[in-house]
Amino acid sequence: MSITLEEILTQPNAWQEAIEVTLNQARTWLPLWHQDIDYVLFTGCGSTYYLSLAAATLFQRLTHRPARGVPGSELALNSSTVIHPGTPLLVAISRSGATGETLRAVEVFRQRTQGAVIAITTRDDQPLASLADVALVIKAGQEQSVVQTRSFAAMYLVTVGLAVLASGSHQMIPAMGQLPSIGRRLIPAVRAMMETLGQDLDITHIYFLGSGFLYGLAAEASLKVKEMSLTHSEPFHFLEFRHGPMSMVDENTLLVGLLSERNRQHEQALLDEMADLGARVLSLGERTAALSFHSGLPEILRGVLYLPPLQLMAYYRAVARGLNPDHPRHLSAVVKALDA
Ligand code: F1P
């Protein structure tokens, strides 16, 4: 079996480890989150930058403290546009723990602030873990594949755990614990549907729409389609799509809507309008979507459920296009160009 497919299918085990590590190590990282923290930065590159966007939005929504996701390169090279007066906390995310820009970002943060650093990674033997005050290491998220799938989902769940505990939302912990078993049911249930959609090569370009914390996940899904299947794809905040991008819609367009609960009405209206213009539409959401989770979980815990179906779609599209998802064009697993 392809290693990428194997990593997608086995991800609920990594989700489980992510939840356990975050909860079990709360006594090490939770003290870094205190009254004097004025703002939180999440940083990473590529997939882990998109993870940072989702995490920052979710973290601010739950804790009501300002949080921002930035590419490692921006913190490293344009730090004055990211760091400002006040006490920050940095959450640096990297599957490899060795990406040059992310390491440099941590160094610059250390030089320019007194703030603490939490690392989220899958490797405890790489530089990022030792640069941080606390490293949350999800070994079950490690991957052989270049393209991030289960690592992304596992590290994303760590950030959900951070937001839940930092906001004192302890009542959500039991629900969080249900995610791995929900994932184990969901993945086989959606696989055939995603294979069929992935094999539809009448589709030539794909837009992923998400709002709130789902925007970062839409961006990640879009990156999967690019990396694995070399398909033109872009993410947008849902209602942004009307402001220009909709001019690209034709009968070869697939619009993938990551429906939220709070803004669903506006989001569905947008999808309906685009379907009227000829777009193919795939909606994902808790219920009454083309792909419904029926998880029974609170909205803020459900983000990770959007990932496996969209990773599978990208995988099957790559195979249908005669590409090998285990060897994406031009890519390597780690980019060290800006090594610290
Ligand atoms: C980040 C990353 C990956 C991408 C590519 C290069 O790696 O940009 O997201 O797929 O393989 O590296 P990391 O810092 O999370 O290890």
What does the alpha-carbon distance between residue 49 and residue 136 come to, in Å, rounded to a whole number?
A: 17
Tell me which of 149, 158, 335 to substitute to probe ligand 1's pocket, judged by most ligand atoms within 8 Å of the beta carbon.
335
Provide the CATH topology of domain 179-320.
Answer: Rossmann fold (3.40.50)
Residue 204: other Cβ atoms inside 10 A: 12
Q: Ligand 1: does its nearest atom lie under 6 Å from the Cβ of 295?
A: no
What is the model's pLDDT at position 332? Answer: 85
What are the Cα distances from residue 140, in Å, to 5, 244, 283, 288?
A: 15, 42, 30, 33
Task: Locate the ligand 1 atom nearest the alpha carbon of residue 333 and give its number.
Answer: 11
Helix axes 179-198, 11-24, angle to 10 degrees: 150
Distance 222 CA to ligand 1 centre (A): 15
175-260-273 Cα angle (round to 5):
155
Q: What percent of the chain has pLDDT over 70?
A: 99
Q: How far, in Å, from the CA of 316 to the mean position of ligand 1? A: 21
The whole-number pLDDT of residue 333 equals 85
Give the distance (Å) from ligand 1 centre to CA of residue 229. Answer: 17
Q: Confirm or reject: Cβ of 145 under 6 Å from ligand 1.
A: no
Whose C-alpha lies nearest to ligand 1, atom 5? 333
Atom of ligand 1 nearest to the CA of 102: 14
* Residue whose CA is at the smallest distance from ligand 1 atom 8: 46
Residue nearest to atom 10 of ligand 1 (CA): 147
CB 48 near ligand 1, within 6 Å: yes
Residue 338 pLDDT: 78
**Which one of 75, 95, 144, 339 would you pick to mutate in the ligand 1 pocket, going by the greatest count of ligand atoms within 8 A of its CB?**
95
Whether residue 254 contacts residue 199, with contact meaning beta carbons closer than 8 Å, is answered with: no
Q: Could you report the per-residue pLDDT of 73-97, keeping only the tens digit for each? A: 999 999 999 999 999 999 999 999 9
338 ligand 1 Cβ < 6 A? no
Per the rule left: phi > 0, alpha: psi between -120 and 50, beta: everything else, 212 is left
As assigned by CATH, the class of the 3-176 domain is alpha beta
102 lines ligand 1 (CB under 6 A): yes
Ligand 1 atom closest to residue 146's alpha carbon, by position in its atom list: 11
Domains 3-176 and 179-320 in one fold: yes
Helix runs in the chain, H state only: 3-9, 11-24, 26-29, 47-63, 72-77, 100-112, 127-131, 150-166, 173-177, 179-198, 214-229, 264-276, 307-320
CA dist., res. 131 & res. 18, Å (int): 20
pLDDT, position 330: 87
Residue ranges of domains in the chain: 3-176, 179-320
**Whose C-alpha lies nearest to ligand 1, atom 12?**
334
Ligand 1 centroid distance, CA of 95 (Å):
7
Task: Give the position of tokens 């703002």.
Answer: 39
Return the residue whose CA atom lies nearest to atom 4 of ligand 1: 46
Determine if ligand 1 sits within 6 Å of the CB of residue 94.
yes
Q: Which atom of ligand 1 is nearest to the CA of 152?
A: 15
pLDDT tens for each residue of the chain, 340 residues long: 999 999 999 999 999 999 999 999 999 999 999 889 999 999 999 999 999 999 999 999 999 999 999 999 999 999 999 999 999 999 999 999 999 999 999 999 999 999 999 999 999 999 999 999 999 999 999 999 999 999 999 999 999 999 999 999 999 999 999 999 999 999 999 999 999 999 999 999 999 999 999 999 999 999 999 999 999 999 999 999 999 999 999 999 999 999 999 999 999 999 999 999 999 999 999 999 999 999 999 999 999 999 999 999 999 999 999 999 998 898 888 888 876 5
Q: Is the CB of 148 under 6 A from ligand 1?
A: yes
Q: Three-class SS of residue 111?
A: helix
Ligand 1 centroid to residue 31 C-alpha, Å: 29
